[in-house]
Amino acid sequence: MAELRFAYAARGYDYAGAIERVAGDEELLHSLLDMFAADSSFLKLMSALDAHDALEGFHAAHSLKGSSGMLGMTGLFEAMKLITEPLRSGDAEKALQYRAEVEREYAVAVGMIECL
Domain ranges of the chain: 2-115
Residue positions counted in the chain: 116
Per DSSP, 13 falls in state -
pLDDT digits (tens, 9 = 90+) for 52-87: 999 999 999 999 999 999 999 999 999 999 999 999
User: The pTM is what?
Assistant: 0.96
**How far, in Å, CA of 28 to CA of 45, rounded?**
26
In whole angstroms, give the CA distance from residue 80 to residue 63. 9
